[in-house]
């Protein structure tokens, strides 16, 4: 029977054949068979099965290997708290690691594989880790792999990661979609056990909008797992009856397969709905999972309780299961998990397990009750099952490797004996599922009578009913659920009647306190998923890691994907025992969302790929595309970068041609990405005077001006143009990048700093399309577009003019004579819907002049040739003086940022300031980002004098040019510097010059 | 969090943008009586007058005093980090774009008051003028 006697590589034999399915019973559709595979072997199950129940029904009990010691592991629980039975579900791109077999709903064609074993589940070579176990004790990583530091990344970590770890991701893009949705309701009921069903029923009957969220695919909770009688009905039938009534209520929404994962502020909850996890491939147009943001006025938490394992040597062997889970498998799934059973428990609840086992034909060999003295319900059950009853005893060791063979039982007299068995049901009592009640910081309270933490310090609007509140009795849970459901409805303004309580069969809830956990021999596990043993916590105690949070981090107890749902309380109890403190003195770990793992795909929803950050399209985008433009993402926008022609060898050829055409003739470019803000009101001028460093109020109607804005800290925030269209009306532009920020800033000034100003702001960025028409022939082109009798001659419409006009026979528009390129230029705005028409008309009108469309590259080249600053220079770290714009700081008025712009450190000489740069070797290329160093100085940080901010090949000058920030720059014109670029091996001598390379007198603007 | 915008009703906090402390008072808030008043600001005598970069007319810019700079420094950089009720500025950027003064407990996130920032600011202006 021992694994070691069989040779690895022997022909694959199904691990077990023959059905363990009970002949009758269970909540299954026995008329249908579902074929599935596990590790390549074929099995059959029924609709209604989980993967775990179907495996057990086929006699498969060995499911995986553990994280650290590669110990064989089986199925411990029947719920979402499962630490052991983790599998890789599905294949190919849909492969999903670390899926709990206990919550994976069976479907036809399901394919699962065991994890963390090599070469196979039965013959795992790395289980040698268990032999060398002491080397892997708590704190092992910290102690062993510290030195030398470089070994960690290169040697230790890859080795450990290969040996430890759980399942493997697919490494391929997820083919499924995920979505996020919002849901608003009066009352959220979490959990559909007896308390949750009654809460939903009471609130639903009162007329409240109720959302009932159940993580399982079937409503009922423990009502499905236990064979109870409510009134005259079996518990699962009773649950189905309530569900039917809830389903008939129009304002009650049942979300099954939906796990509420987190409690957030003000009645906000996150919930994950597994929409398509129970089918092989999602239905067309259905997401795989849906992440709900549920906003509820009230919440009734009825999340139930989690049974605690008992701690003894080899308590992780397959065949050792929670007593409550055994009942789930028998009653709900019609599977008898073992034929020769021992029950080891600290409470009366285990009596039900004894009864169910015996009733369904298992041989209950012995019942071990850790409590001294006889306890009637357990003793009675043991007697009727004909089992040996041992009170005040304990199971001290399990025997078996990949399956349970026998247990060692120590009686109250201290004598030990061995008993052969294939199933050990354990129950250390139940812990209320307090997670969602604690996410906002409320600390759970220790209850001595329950020997468990119960919720304390509830989030506003939440009540807790049933087992989640320590009300473990069925009658109590039903009553509390109904009462809290009704109260929640009343809080939301709905009055209802008390729901009649069904009579329930007798129950006993007595449970013992914690028995001693310390000193277990061999490997006695506290945290199954992270392989944390009693010895690890004892080591943490000896080494001083005794606070709950220290113990957790030192031993990794509770840090696995199950977050220690079955482990934390036992770990705390052991530390309490070691430190001779009570459990509440020892503390509890902090509960944080999510309650269970959530795939990143569900968190991102549709925000994947291009939808992660959608681009905005300028209004002439489709026209630009038809012209063959090359596009670039600039901030949120997708903009035309240049317009290549077939004859052009590369991008530079295209950009050079565009620049030359504009400087010699005319070009057109969409500049609608600039932020535009309409500022209106009698105090518009006063507000703009405070926002901009220069005076705006002196601007005449019909005129435009360049403006500069500082932040309150005195650094430059943004620049743009301000055009006065009327006595009380201005049209201001912002840079593309800062459009949103500047609007927000202006709104703060308007509403908060100077609310007494009579002025209104409106973003018109998306309202107006704006085209730049630049070049000596730009007026000739626009004259064919602008409606008569508007005169745009130099005399009538000089540089920095602005006017409301009509174009193309009556389309409202605006015309600005402003220039970024340094040429005679206009910007013309029309409602965005006319942009396509306008650009086509402009191109037609310009054909005789050889007009070219141009993109952001040519725009950038021309602004560098003109020494205009842009985002590279307005970096948030530069002052107006740094940028050579000190003259724009008005001395005649106050403005935002004035005082702090005068801080001494910002006024001193030596700050890096704007200069132009030319390579001495005119054939050399300049690189933005290169550091500026005095000629002959060593390229070390101490000699750094600034850096190159922007570069371009200037077709106008015939060589590369650059702008840079150089210490004392303006006084160093004519000097030479080294532009040193270690990243791209650049080392170029440059000449410092005026930043305006082209037409420094600005004569071309005024023609 | 859920924030009850004075104009739009209760909305999720993802519609709002946070700025910070609403109890700060911008120094030199008054622009009265005329813009020319700024030119009368005293020149800082304690520190040497920094040279103006060439080619600029910065010489005529009124100099801030050290005291003034310190006051502004506190306004721009110093923030209390209260554990408890805090009056703070939020903007309903995804809605009506109103700036709001929200009184929120930083420990519990409980919101006890929400007022339009404009109204709060106006009552301050009225108080100053009254």
Could you tell me the sign of the dihedral formed by the alpha carbons of A178, A184, A190, A194, in that order? negative
Of A448 and A38, which is predicted with more confidence?
A: A38
**A907 touching chain B per CB within 8 A:** yes
Within 8 A of A690 by CB-CB distance, chain B residues are 31
User: A147 pLDDT band (50/70/90 cuts)?
Assistant: low
Residue for token pair 């590669």: A70
Q: How far is CA A723 from the centre of its chain?
A: 44
Q: Cβ B76–A887 below 8 Å, yes or no?
A: no
What is the distance between the alpha carbons of residues A136 and A133, in angstroms, rounded to a whole number? 5
A46 burial level (CB within 10 Å; 0-12, 13-18, 19+): buried
CB contact under 8 A, A752 and B118: yes
Verify whether the Cβ–Cβ distance B73 to A893 is below 8 Å.
no
User: In 3-state terms, chain B is what percent helix, strand and coil (to 5)?
Assistant: 30, 25, 45
- Residue pair A192/A220 in contact (Cβ under 8 Å)? The answer is yes
Average pLDDT over every residue of A133-159? 60
Instruction: Give the minimum alpha-carbon distance from A697 to chain B in angstroms, rounded to a whole number.
Output: 11
Answer left, alpha or beta for residue A897, where phi above 0 means left and psi between -120 and 50 means alpha. Answer: left
A652 closest CA partner among A823, A867, A855, A920 = A855
Q: Which positions ≥6 away from A667 have C-beta within 8 Å?
A: A658, A661, A773, A774, A775, A851, A852, A853, A854, A858
Give B30→chain A minimum CA distance, Å: 9
Percentage of chain A modeled with pLDDT above 70:
94
Q: Could you give the CA distance from residue A401 to residue A317 in angstroms, rounded to a whole number?
A: 7
Q: Nearest-CA neighbor of A49 among A323, A289, A332?
A: A332
Cβ–Cβ below 8 Å for A902 and B60: no
d(CA A785, CA A773): 12
Q: A440 contacts in B (CB within 8 Å)?
A: 108
What mean pLDDT is reported for chain A? 92
Contact (CB, 8 A) for A533 and A526: yes
Question: pLDDT tens digit string along A362-383?
Answer: 999 999 999 988 888 999 999 9
Q: Which of residues 126-185 of A touch B (CB under 8 A)?
A: 182
Phi and psi angles of residue B127, each rounded to the nearest 5 degrees, phi first = -60, -40
Q: Do A893 and B38 touch (CB under 8 A)?
A: yes
**Chain B partners within 8 Å of A886 (Cβ):** 52-53, 56-58
> pLDDT category, A141, cuts 50, 70, 90?
low
Q: What is the pTM of this model?
A: 0.89
Predicted confidence at residue A635, as pLDDT, reads: 87
Residues of A in contact with B52 (CB under 8 A): 886
Tell me which residues of chain A, numbers 65 to 84, contact chain B at a CB-CB cutoff of 8 Å.
none
* Distance set, CA B60 to CA A13, A873, A969, B43 (Å): 94, 25, 22, 11
What DSSP state is assigned to residue B41?
Answer: S
- Can you give the pLDDT at residue A503? 95
Min Cα distance B26 → chain A (Å) is 8
pLDDT of A511 above 70: yes
Our CA-based measurement puts residue A586 at a distance from the nearest CA of chain B, in whole angstroms, of: 24
Helix axes A194-205, A235-247, angle to 10 degrees: 30
- Predicted confidence band of residue A10 (pLDDT cuts 50, 70, 90): very low
Residues on chain A touching B93 (C-beta within 8 angstroms) = 744
Q: What is the pLDDT of residue A168?
A: 82
Region for residue A526 given its phi and psi (left: phi exceeds 0; alpha: psi -120 to 50; beta: otherwise)? alpha
Q: Is A345 helix (H, G, I), strand (E, B) or coil?
A: strand
**Res A20: pLDDT:** 87
Q: What's the mean pLDDT in A258-273? A: 97
Measured distance CA(A814)–CA(A696) in Å, rounded: 20
ipTM over 0.90: no
Cβ–Cβ under 8 Å, residues A110 and A84? no
pLDDT tens per residue across all 130 residues of chain B: 999 999 999 999 999 999 999 999 999 765 443 333 333 333 333 344 444 444 333 334 467 888 999 999 999 999 999 999 999 999 999 999 999 999 999 999 999 999 999 999 999 877 777 6
Which of A586, A304, A570, A591 shows the shortest CA–CA distance to A456? A591
B-contacting residues of A 317-336, CB under 8 Å?
Answer: none
- State both tokens at A538: 């004892």
Closest residue in B to A713 (Cα) is B76
- Is residue A9 pLDDT above 80, yes or no? no
Q: Which residues pair with A37 in a beta bridge?
A: A42, A111
Residue A513 pLDDT greater than 80, yes or no: no
| Strand ranges for A56-116 from DSSP E | 64-65, 72-73, 86-89, 96-100, 110-114
Which whole number is the average pLDDT over A686-710?
A: 97
What residue of B is the nearest CA neighbor of A183?
Answer: B12
Chain A residues inside the 8 Å CB shell of B69: 899-900, 902-903
* DSSP per-residue letters across A530-592: TTEEHHHHHHHHHTT--SHHHHHHHH-TT-STTTTTTTHHHHHHHHHHHTT--HHHH--PPP-
CB contact residues (below 8 A), chain A span 81-100, against chain B: none
Mean pLDDT of A687-713: 97
Does the pLDDT value for residue A110 go beyond 70? yes
Inter-chain touch B121–A752, beta carbons under 8 Å: yes
Which B residues in the span 104-123 are in contact with A, Cβ-Cβ below 8 Å? 108-111, 116-119, 121-122
Of B17, B26, B122, the CB nearest to A756: B122
Q: Is the CB of A985 inside 8 Å of chain B's CB atoms?
A: no
Q: Is A495 buried (19+), middle (13-18) or exposed (0-12) by CB count in 10 A?
A: exposed
Strand partners, A212: A189, A254
User: CA-based angle B69:B70:B76, to the nearest 5?
Assistant: 85
CA distance A519 to A437: 34
Dist. CA A732–CA A194, nearest whole Å: 64
In the block, which residue shows the tokens 């009645």? A267
**How many CB pairs (< 8 A) connect A and B?**
128
CA A156/CA A151 separation, integer angstroms: 6
Residue A454: its H or E element: strand A452-454
pLDDT in tens, A869-913: 999 999 999 999 999 999 999 999 999 999 999 999 999 889 999
How many Cα atoms within 13 Å fall on the side-chain side of residue A263?
Answer: 27
pLDDT reported for residue B43: 36
Residue A156 has pLDDT above 80, yes or no: no
C-alpha distance from A745 to closest chain B C-alpha (Å)? 10
Per the CB < 8 A criterion, the answer to whether A645 and A652 are in contact is no
A512: confidence class by pLDDT, cuts 50, 70, 90? confident
Please tell me if residue A913 touches chain B, with a CB cutoff of 8 Å.
Answer: yes
Task: Single out the residue of A93, A103, A116, A61 nearest to residue A403, CA to CA.
Answer: A61
Q: Which residues contact A299 (CB under 8 A, 6 or more apart)?
A: A187, A188, A189, A190, A263, A267, A269, A459, A461, A462, A463, A488
Largest Cα–Cα distance in chain B? 56
Which chain B residue has the Cα nearest residue A899? Answer: B64
Instruction: Provide the 10 A C-beta neighbour count for residue A435.
Output: 25
Q: Does A908 touch chain B (CB under 8 A)?
A: yes
In chain A, residues 225-244 whose CB comes closer than 8 Å to chain B: none
Q: Residue A152 carries which DSSP code?
A: I
- What pLDDT score was predicted for residue A116? 74
Quote the minimal CA–CA distance from B104 to chain A in Å. 12
Average pLDDT rounded to a whole number, residues A56-70:
91
CB within 8 Å of A732: residues ≥ 6 apart: A676, A677, A679, A688, A707, A720, A721, A722, A723
Q: Considering CB atoms only, which of B53, B60, B91 is closest to A891?
A: B60
Of B12, B27, B122, the CB nearest to A755: B122
CA distance linking residue A679 with residue A687, whole number of Å = 9
At residue A113, the pLDDT reads 94
Contact A716, A710 (CB under 8 A): yes
Point out which residues pair with A931 in neighbouring strands: A947, A980
Other C-beta atoms closer than 10 Å to the C-beta of A907 total: 23
Q: Which of A686, A891, A900 sits opposite B69 (nearest CB)?
A: A900
First to last CA, chain B: 38
The residue-averaged pLDDT of A331-357 equals 96
Cα–Cα nearest to A605, from A177, A173, A93: A177
Strand duo A944-954 + A802-807: pairing: unpaired
For β-strands A532-533 and A525-527, DSSP reports them as antiparallel
The pLDDT value given to residue A275: 98
- Tokens 């009108």 -> residue: A845
**Dist CA A766 CA A764 (whole Å):** 5
> Could you tell me which chain B residue has the CA closest to the CA of A750?
B118
Residue A487: the pLDDT is 98
Comparing A110-124, A536-550, A581-595, the range with the smallest average pLDDT is: A110-124
In this prediction, residues A126-154 reach a mean pLDDT of 59
Which chain A positions have a beta carbon within 8 Å of B37's beta carbon?
894
Distances A956 to A615, A660, A662, A669, A825 between C-alpha atoms, Å: 33, 7, 11, 19, 17
- Using alpha carbons only, what angle is made at residue A281 by residues A280 and A282, rounded to the nearest 5 degrees? 125
Residue A945 has a pLDDT of 97
Lowest mean pLDDT among A193-202, A560-569, A594-603, B56-65: B56-65
CA angle A656, A658, A661 (to 5 degrees): 105
Q: If you measure CA to CA, which chain A residue comes closest to B46?
A: A904
Residue A335 is given by DSSP the state B
User: Cα–Cα distance between A513 and A349 in angstroms, integer?
Assistant: 14
> Chain A partners of B117 at a C-beta cutoff of 8 Å?
751-752, 755
Q: What does the alpha-carbon distance between residue A239 and residue A502 come to, in Å, rounded to a whole number?
A: 12
Question: CA of B97, closest CA in chain A: separation in Å?
Answer: 8
């Amino acid at each position: 029977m021992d694994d070691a006697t069989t040779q690895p590589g022997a022909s694959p034999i199904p691990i077990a054949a023959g059905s363990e399915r009970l002949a009758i019973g269970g909540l299954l559709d026995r008329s249908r068979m579902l074929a599935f595979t596990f590790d390549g072997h074929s099995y059959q199950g029924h609709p209604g099965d989980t993967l775990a129940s179907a495996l057990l029904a086929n006699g498969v009990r060995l499911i995986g290997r553990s994280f650290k010691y590669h110990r064989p592991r089986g199925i411990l629980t029947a719920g979402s708290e499962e630490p052991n039975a983790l599998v890789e579900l599905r294949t190919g791109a849909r492969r999903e690691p670390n899926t709990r077999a206990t919550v994976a709903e069976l479907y036809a064609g399901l394919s699962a594989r065991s994890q963390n074993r090599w070469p196979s589940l039965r013959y795992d070579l790395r289980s040698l880790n268990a032999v060398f176990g002491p080397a892997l004790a708590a704190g092992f990583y910290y102690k062993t792999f510290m030195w030398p530091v470089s070994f960690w990344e290169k040697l230790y970590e890859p080795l450990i990661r290969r040996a430890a770890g759980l399942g493997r991701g697919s490494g391929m893009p997820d083919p499924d979609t995920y979505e996020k949705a919002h849901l608003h309701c009066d009352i959220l009921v979490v959990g559909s056990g007896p308390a949750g069903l009654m809460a939903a029923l009471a609130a639903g009957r009162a007329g409240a909008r109720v959302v009932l969220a159940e993580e399982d695919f079937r409503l009922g909770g423990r009502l499905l797992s236990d064979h109870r009688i409510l009134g005259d009905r079996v518990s699962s039938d009773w649950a189905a009856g309530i569900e039917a009534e809830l389903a008939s209520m129009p304002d009650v929404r049942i979300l099954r397969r939906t796990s509420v994962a987190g409690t957030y502020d003000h009645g906000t909850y996150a919930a994950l709905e597994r929409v398509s996890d129970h089918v092989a491939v999602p239905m067309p147009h259905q997401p795989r999972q849906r992440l709900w943001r549920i906003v509820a006025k009230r919440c009734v938490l009825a999340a139930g309780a989690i049974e605690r394992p008992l701690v003894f040597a080899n308590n992780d062997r397959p065949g050792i299961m929670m007593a409550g889970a055994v009942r789930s498998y028998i009653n709900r799934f019609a599977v008898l998990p073992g034929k020769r059973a021992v029950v080891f428990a600290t409470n009366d609840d285990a009596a039900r397990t004894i009864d169910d086992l015996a009733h369904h034909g298992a041989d209950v060999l012995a019942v071990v009750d850790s409590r001294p003295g006889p306890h009637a319900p357990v003793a009675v059950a043991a007697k009727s099952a004909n089992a040996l009853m041992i009170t005040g005893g304990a199971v001290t060791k399990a025997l078996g490797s990949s399956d349970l063979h026998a247990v060692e039982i120590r009686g109250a007299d201290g004598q030990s004996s061995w008993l052969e068995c294939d199933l050990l049901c354990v129950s250390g009592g139940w812990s209320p599922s307090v997670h969602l009640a604690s996410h906002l910081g409320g600390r759970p309270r220790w209850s001595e009578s329950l020997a468990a933490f119960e919720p304390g310090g509830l989030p506003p609007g939440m009540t807790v009913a049933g087992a989640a509140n320590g009300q473990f009795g069925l009658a109590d849970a039903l009553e509390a659920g109904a009462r809290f459901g009704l109260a929640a409805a009343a809080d939301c303004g709905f009055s209802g009647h008390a729901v009649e309580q069904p009579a329930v069969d007798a129950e006993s809830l007595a449970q013992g306190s914690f028995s001693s956990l310390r000193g277990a021999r061999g490997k006695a596990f506290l945290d199954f998923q992270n392989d944390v043993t009693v010895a690890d916590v004892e080591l943490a105690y000896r080494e001083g890691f005794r606070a709950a949070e220290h113990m957790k981090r030192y031993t990794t107890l509770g840090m696995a994907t199950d977050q220690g749902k079955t482990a934390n309380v036992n770990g705390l109890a052991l530390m309490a025992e070691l430190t001779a403190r009570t459990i509440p003195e020892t503390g509890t770990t902090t509960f944080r969302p999510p309650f269970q793992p959530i795939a990143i795909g569900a968190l991102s929803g549709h925000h994947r790929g291009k939808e992660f950050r959608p681009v905005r399209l300028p209004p002439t985008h489709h026209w630009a595309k038809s012209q063959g433009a090359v596009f670039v993402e600039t901030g949120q926008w997708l903009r035309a970068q240049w317009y290549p022609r077939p004859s052009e060898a590369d991008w530079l050829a295209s950009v050079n041609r565009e620049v030359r055409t504009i400087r010699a003739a005319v070009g057109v470019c969409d500049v609608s990405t600039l932020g535009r803000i309409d500022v209106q009101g009698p105090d518009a001028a006063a507000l703009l005077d405070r926002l901009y460093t220069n005076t705006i109020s002196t601007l005449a109607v019909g005129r435009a001006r360049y403006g500069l804005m500082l932040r309150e800290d005195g650094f430059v925030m943004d620049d743009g143009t301000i055009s006065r269209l009327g006595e009380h009306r201005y049209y201001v532009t912002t840079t593309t990048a800062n459009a949103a920020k500047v609007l927000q800033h202006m709104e703060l000034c308007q509403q908060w700093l100077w609310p007494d100003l009579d002025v209104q702001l409106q973003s018109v960025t998306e309202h107006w399309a704006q085209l730049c028409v630049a070049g000596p022939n730009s007026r000739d082109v626009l004259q064919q577009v602008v409606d008569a009798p508007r005169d745009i001659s130099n005399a009538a419409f000089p540089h920095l003019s602005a006017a409301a006009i009509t174009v193309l026979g009556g389309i409202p528009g605006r015309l600005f004579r402003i220039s970024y390129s340094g040429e005679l230029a206009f910007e013309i705005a029309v409602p965005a819907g006319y942009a396509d028409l306008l650009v086509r008309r402009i191109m037609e009108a310009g054909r005789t002049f050889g007009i070219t469309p141009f993109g952001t590259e040519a725009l950038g080249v021309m602004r560098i040739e003109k020494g205009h600053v842009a985002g590279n220079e307005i970096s948030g770290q530069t002052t107006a003086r740094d940028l050579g714009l000190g003259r724009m700081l008005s001395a005649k008025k106050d403005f935002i940022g004035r005082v702090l712009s005068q801080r001494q450190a910002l006024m001193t000489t030596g700050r890096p300031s704007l200069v132009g740069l030319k390579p001495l070797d005119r054939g050399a290329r300049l690189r933005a980002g290169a550091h500026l160093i005095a000629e002959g100085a060593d390229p070390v940080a101490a000699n750094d004098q600034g850096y190159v901010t922007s570069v371009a090949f200037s077709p106008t000058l015939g060589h590369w040019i650059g702008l840079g920030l150089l210490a004392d720059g303006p006084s160093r014109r004519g000097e030479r510097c080294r532009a040193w670029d270690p990243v791209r091996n650049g080392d170029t001598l440059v000449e410092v010059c005026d930043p305006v390379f082209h037409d420094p007198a600005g004569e071309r603007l005024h023609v | 969090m859920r924030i009850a915008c004075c104009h739009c009703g209760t909305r999720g906090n993802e519609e709002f943008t946070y700025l910070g402390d609403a109890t700060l008072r911008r120094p030199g808030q008054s622009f009265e009586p005329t813009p020319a008043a700024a030119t009368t600001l005293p020149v800082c005598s304690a520190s040497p007058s920094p040279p103006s970069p060439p080619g600029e007319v910065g010489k005529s810019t009124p100099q801030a005093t050290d005291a003034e700079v310190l006051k502004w420094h506190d306004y721009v950089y110093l923030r209390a980090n209260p554990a408890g009720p805090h009056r703070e500025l939020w903007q309903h950027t995804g809605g009506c774009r109103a700036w709001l003064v929200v009184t929120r407990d930083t420990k519990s996130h409980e919101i006890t008051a929400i007022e339009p920032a404009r109204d709060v600011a106006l009552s301050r202006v009225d108080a100053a003028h009254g």
